[in-house]
Chains A and B, each alone.
Chain A
Amino acid sequence: MTYILQQGLNSLQLGSIYALIALGYTMVYGILTMINFAHGDLFMVGAFLCFLAATFLHLPFVPTLLIAMIGVALIGVVIERFAYKPLRQAPRVSAIITALGVGIFLENFTLVFAPYPQHVPTLIKNTTWVIGGVSVSSLQLIIIALSLVLMVLLDFIVRKTMVGMAMRAISWDKTIVPLMGIPLNLVISATFAIGTSLGGAAGVMYALAFPVIDPYMGIMIGWKAFIAAVVGGIGNIRGAMIGGFILGGVEILVAAFLPSTYRDFVAFTLLLILLIFRPYGILGKPRPQKV
């Protein structure tokens, strides 16, 4: 029992990181119906910004997190302006390929400056308590709590503020809503900034939890978070959160009860089965198709 509880805690930690990244995918998809495949690499940039701030500027945790989030948000907005905006009217796949290209660019640009895996210094003094046989570390608690706070904040922004209302309106209809005086480009930039900054925050948390980082770390985690977003129903913000936690849970539980090399195999087979029964994800709704 304590073993299951322990693994449950671990899966919450991993799941919250996946959920934060999946939110970035789903927000961009919701507003532009485009998959931002560079998002996994923006997560990696977040981890590297955390490494830079902690190693060279010797900053404590909170400023490091803010630097990473703001830095990644800026990069995300710049990428949207220069790489995605010219392609808004183009066929959808061109935008996807451009995103893949931007991702490869980010990976290899980082690789030029960091050819070897880098070690991130510890920013949070890690104390471990044992509660009823389950060991709980302060780092785990901070990661879970912080990501929950960020998710609640995001939900609040999307549901209650003017920016969020504009985002939902634009994802509803991109041609009519700008005619009502809503600045399309500004809202899209805001969406990118919020979505990618969550990815940056996830990068910081990941770098603290697993402190060896390399430029290719974003690929696998990015694709997995994309799967989480699809499982939850892509375009649906609460779905992305649920999908992230499900994926984290499945991965950790498989690794807990089977040899860890089977982790990907079982996790992806389960996802396939889920998609057969719910082809539009857990919270996604099939869009009616006109002929």
Chain B
Amino acid sequence: MSKESSDNGNWKNWLSRQWAKIVTNRKLLPVLLVIGLLLSFAIPQFGLLNQYIVLILIYVGINIILSTSLNLVNGYMGEFSVGHAGFMAVGAYISAILTTKIIPDSLAPWLFPLVVFAGGTGAALIGLMVAIPSFKTRGDYLAIVTLAFLMIVKSLIENIEVIGGPRGIPGITRLTTLPWTFIWVVIAVWVIRNFVYSKFGRGVLSIREDEIASDLMSVNSRQVKMLTFVISSFFAGVAGALFAHILQFISPRVFDIIKSTDILIMVYLGGIGSIAGSILGALIFTILLEVLRPLGMWRMVLMPLVLVVLMIYRPRGIMGLREFRWFVPGYDLIATNLWRKKKEAKDVSTS
């Protein structure tokens, strides 16, 4: 009996060792990316999955971009921004105006990456403006600043008749395809992951832990905050542009506070300060909403209950402060684990 269980333990040990080998092998990453890219081309080309599932996959991709970029501000920098839908709206409107009014239809599919980039850049410029009040205010007051920003964007769009006012822009060509979504997701995750583990990223983390202390350690907090907001809002704009070209219709009502709440839920469901968490959060949130669709109106009753129960049993979200090893540079793994253990021990001691 005892021998059996120890055998079982050895077998499990062996399996986990092999698993760790696979997971830590970085050479697999490019292979997986190429496979993913080929799949994203092949699926729509040969009709491997039906249209509905492809659509959901595209939404999952857009939501991953949104949640990782919001995680940069809310998770890594420790602010509470609720204006992410506003940046999304800026990106969506810039790109939609470009494809419907300026670029001729025949050229639009070829220029689509540039259009998405333009949407992101526009949102990034606005993000720079929102970063300025964040120099002085923090916490709940910055939440108000971002909320006010969202309202101002929405209200401005409603008042400009040239871009449709409250009626929005109809008849946008469907340009967002699965490969483009996949490529933008990879770019977003790659840029944000490299940013988080760069010199600036350390600054971002130190601002979350203690802003005054990090200033004393010669972190240029203004520069770091500006950069963080710009990157975060750039990718929100990118996601907005992709979103506009899959929904094919945008209006100010699409980008209201409920949209921001959805993104917040994805981030905190997955876990703050974790790229893997954001990806998981977006995946679970989007797919769960689709799976629960047969429930009709009860779906949106059940969904928040799931969220509340999850928050009670895992207050830091699914992946809170943990990271999928592929995302962490080798030299960083030990330090991150040590820091997490310290943080969790502190949680226990204060309770």
Q: Do these two chains interact?
A: yes
Point out residues on A near B: beta carbons under 8 Å.
29, 35, 83, 86-87, 89-91, 93-94, 96-98, 100-105, 107-109, 111-112, 115, 219-220, 223, 226-227, 230, 234, 259, 261-265, 268-269, 271-272, 275-276, 279-281, 289, 291
Q: Which of B107-115, B236-244, B310-318 contacts A (4 or more CB under 8 A)?
A: B310-318
Contact of B141 among A90, A105, A111, A280 (CB under 8 A): A280
The answer, among A94, A104, A220, for a CB contact under 8 Å with B300, is A104
Contact of A101 among B141, B166, B265, B315 (CB under 8 A): B265
Minimum CB–CB distance from B33 to chain A (whole Å) comes to: 32
The 5 closest A-B CB pairs, nearest first, are A90-B315, A89-B351, A108-B300, A94-B315, A265-B155
Q: Is B323 part of the binding interface, using a Cβ–Cβ cutoff of 8 Å?
A: no
Q: In the complex, what distance in Å separates the CA atom of A219 from the CA atom of B312?
A: 24
B304 adjacent to chain A (CB < 8 Å): yes
Whole-angstrom CA separation of A223 from B82 in the bound complex: 11
Chain A residue at smallest Cβ distance from B214: A291
Encode B258-287 as 1/0 by CB contact (under 8 A) with A.
100100110011001000000000000000
The 8 Å CB contact of B301, one of A35, A105, A230, is A105
CA distance A29 to B133 in the complex (A): 23
Question: B148 contacts A279, CB within 8 Å?
Answer: no
Asked if A101 and B311 make an inter-chain contact with CB atoms under 8 angstroms apart, the answer reads yes
B208 to chain A, nearest CB (A): 11
- Per DSSP, chain B at the interface is helix
CB neighbours of B147 from chain A (8 A): 223, 227
Binding site for A on B (CB under 8 A): 74, 80, 133, 136-137, 140-141, 144-145, 147-149, 151-152, 154-156, 158-159, 166, 210, 212-213, 216, 257-258, 261, 264-265, 268-269, 272, 297-298, 300-301, 303-305, 307-308, 311-312, 315-317, 347, 350-351
Given A87-B312, A227-B148, also A219-B304 (CB < 8 A): no
Nearest residue (CB) in A for B343 is A91
Q: Are A97 and B133 in contact (CB under 8 A)?
A: no
Task: State A4–B149 Cα separation when bound (angstroms).
Answer: 29
Of the A-B pairs whose beta carbons lie under 8 Å apart in the complex, a sample of 17, sorted by A's number, is A87-B312, A90-B311, A93-B272, A94-B315, A98-B307, A104-B303, A112-B298, A219-B258, A227-B148, A230-B140, A261-B158, A261-B166, A262-B159, A265-B155, A272-B133, A272-B148, A276-B133
A108 adjacent to B297 (CB under 8 Å) = yes
In the complex, the answer to whether B312 meets A98 with C-beta atoms within 8 Å is yes
Contact of A279 among B136, B297, B300, B307 (CB under 8 A): B136
| Docked-complex contact B268 and A93, CB < 8 angstroms | yes
Q: Which of B144, B151, B212, B268 contacts A264 (CB 8 A)?
A: B151
Q: Do B155 and A262 touch (CB < 8 A)? A: yes
Asked whether A265 lies within 8 Å of B159 as measured between CB atoms, the reply is yes
Contact: A93 with B80, CB < 8 Å? yes
CB of B155 within 8 A of CB of A268, answer: yes
- Nearest CB of chain B from residue A49's CB, rounded to whole Å: 19
A110 to B58, CA, bound (A): 31
Contact of B152 among A35, A91, A93, A269 (CB under 8 A): A269
Q: Is the CB of B301 within 8 A of A108?
A: yes
CA distance A98 to B298 in the complex (A): 19
Closest A residue to B210 by beta carbon equals A291
- A105 with B347: CB separation less than 8 A: no
A98 / chain B contacts, CB cutoff of 8 Å? 307-308, 311-312
Contact B158 A87 (CB under 8 A): no
Q: For A230, give its contact among B144, B213, B216, B268 (CB under 8 Å).
A: B144
Specify which chain B residues have a CB less than 8 angstroms from the CB of A289 in the assembled complex.
212
> Once the chains are docked, how many angstroms separate the CA of A103 from the CA of B262?
12
Name the A residues within 8 Å of B307 (CB-CB): 97-98, 101
Query: Are A279 and B137 interface neighbours, CB within 8 A?
Result: yes
Which of chain B's residues have a CB closer than 8 A to the CB of A96? 80
Contacts of B261 in A (CB 8 A): 100, 104
Whether A97 lies near B311 (C-beta < 8 A) is yes
Q: How far, in angstroms, from A275 to B347 measured CA to CA in the complex?
A: 33
The CA-CA distance from A276 to B151 in the complex, in Å, is 17
Question: Is B312 touching A83 in the complex (CB atoms < 8 A)?
Answer: yes
**A223 pairs with B347, CB closer than 8 A:** no
Contact B144 A275 (CB under 8 A): yes
Residues of B within 8 A of A227 (CB): 144, 147-148
Q: Are A276 and B350 in contact (CB under 8 A)?
A: no
- Among A89, A104, A264, A272, point to the contact of B145 (Cβ < 8 A): A272
**Contact at A91–B308, with CB atoms within 8 Å?**
no
Residues of chain B lying within 8 A (CB to CB) of residue A101? 265, 304-305, 307-308, 311
Q: What would 12 more interface pairs be, CB under 8 Å, given A262-B155, A272-B145?
A: A87-B315, A93-B272, A94-B315, A100-B264, A104-B304, A220-B257, A261-B166, A265-B151, A265-B155, A268-B152, A291-B210, A291-B216
Q: Which residues of B contact A230 (CB under 8 A)?
A: 140-141, 144
Chain A positions within 8 Å of B213 at CB level: 291
**B-chain residues with CB within 8 Å of residue A263 when the two chains form the complex:** 155
Which chain A residues lie closer than 8 Å to B155 at the CB level?
Answer: 261-265, 268
In the complex, the chain A residue whose C-beta lies closest to that of B137 is A279
Q: Which residues of A contact B212 (CB under 8 A)?
A: 289, 291
Known A-B contacts A227-B148, A264-B155; A97 and B304 likewise in contact (beta carbons under 8 Å): no
> Which A residues are CB-close (under 8 A) to B210?
291
A115 to B300, CA, bound (A): 13
CB distance from B192 to the nearest CB of A (A): 19
Within the complex, the shortest CB–CB distance from A241 to chain B, in Å, comes to 18
